[in-house]
Amino acid sequence: MKIIWSQRKTLALCINRQGEPEVRAPYGCPKAVIERFIQKNQAWIDRRLDEQKNQKQYSAEEIAALRKRAKEYLPPRVAYYAAQMGVAPTAVRITSARTRYGSCSGRNSINFSLYLMEKSDRAIDYVVVHELAHIKQHNHSPTFYKEIEKILPDYKERIKELKQK
């Protein structure tokens, strides 16, 4: 397994773009500690590798169609919910991210994965509201989820829809 050393303070696992597991470790972390960390998280690694093997492969045409739909559909949804929430993202971008459907930067720029377009409208709206809520709360605290609940009282059901294949 590849180990990436950096000035971080904690150990972390990820599956890289080539589909290989990696450990990110602080400089000076003993190899024995890293090996125990890998053993402790082997089930997580195996699950992620299985998920990656079972991921649908998309043609260039399918990706282009999803991107086009996302560019047409998401900005109006962002504008609608941003007005309700009293926030304004600095930018809205469409990415080809596979590991997360949305993200919000520290500068309040919001990114959405084009693969989000395969989910239900209710699930998409949850991701939009979730990312907009990060403009008010850059965390996942109870206060953050209260912001979501003000707009989507049924947000927990929407999360379940988002997780369905």
What is the per-residue pLDDT for 48?
Answer: 86
| pTM for this prediction | 0.75
Query: What's the pLDDT tens digit per position in 4-58?
Result: 999 999 999 998 877 889 999 999 999 999 999 999 999 999 988 888 777 788 9
**Residue 32 burial (CB count, 10 A):** 8
Q: 54-58, 71-75, 127-131: which has the minimum mean pLDDT?
A: 54-58
What are the tokens at 49?
Answer: 């590798």
Residue in this structure with the two tokens 């850059």, named with its chain if needed? 138
Between 165 and 163, the more confident residue is 163
**Which structural domains are found in the chain, ordered by start?**
2-53 (no CATH), 60-163 (3.30.2010.10)
